[in-house]
Amino acid sequence: MRNFTLFSLATLGMLMLSSCYTEVIVEDVILDEVPVQTWQQLQTYDLWYVDIESTQGPGEVPFMQRAFTLSFVNGLLYANNNLSGIGKTGNGLGIRVGYYDAGGSILEIDHDVDGIWTFEVYSVNGGTLELYNRRSNTSYFLDGYQRSGFDYDRLFYENIELLLQEYEVWEKTYASEAGYLNEFDEENFLQFYQGGTGTRFRSSVDPTGTPLPNIVWDYEGFYEIYNVQNDETLKTLTLDYTFMGNDYFELYVIDDRTIELYHPDSGTVYEFTGRGYIQYLKSGKNPETRKRQKSDHPTMDVKRQRKPFTKG
Bridge partners, residue 110, by sequence: 99, 116
Mean pLDDT of the chain: 85
Q: Does 104 score more than 90 pLDDT? A: no
pLDDT mean over 173-181: 93
The candidate with the shortest Cα–Cα distance to 270, out of 152, 156, 189, is 189
Are residues 72 and 155 in contact, defined by beta-carbon separation less than 8 angstroms?
A: no
* Cα distances (angstroms) measured from residue 241 to each of 82, 223, 268: 29, 8, 19
- Which has the closest alpha carbon to 119: 142, 96, 92, 97? 142
The answer to whether residues 61 and 136 touch, using CB atoms and an 8 Å cutoff, is yes
The dihedral sign for the CA sequence 160, 163, 169, 173: negative
What pLDDT, on the 0 to 100 scale, is given for residue 293? 78
Q: How confident is the model at residue 128 (pLDDT cuts 50, 70, 90)?
A: very high
* pLDDT attached to residue 223: 96
pLDDT in tens, 296-305: 788 999 999 9
The residue among 158 and 175 whose pLDDT is bigger is 175
Cα gap 306→235, rounded to integer Å: 12
% helix, strand, coil for the chain, step of 5: 15, 40, 40
Determine which helix (DSSP H) or strand (DSSP E) holds 121, and give its type and residue range. strand 115-125
Q: Dump the DSSP string for 18-76.
A: H-SS-----TT--PPPPPPPHHHHHTSSSEEEE-GGG-BSS---HHHHH-SEEEEETTE
Comparing CA positions, the residue from 261, 275, 163 lying closest to residue 214 is 275
pLDDT tens for residues 83-99? 988 888 999 999 999 99
pTM here?
A: 0.78
User: Residue 141: in which H helix or E strand, if any?
Assistant: strand 138-145
Question: Rounded to an integer, what distance in angstroms lies between the CA atom of residue 108 and that of residue 284?
Answer: 20
Instruction: Give me the pLDDT at residue 153, please.
Output: 83
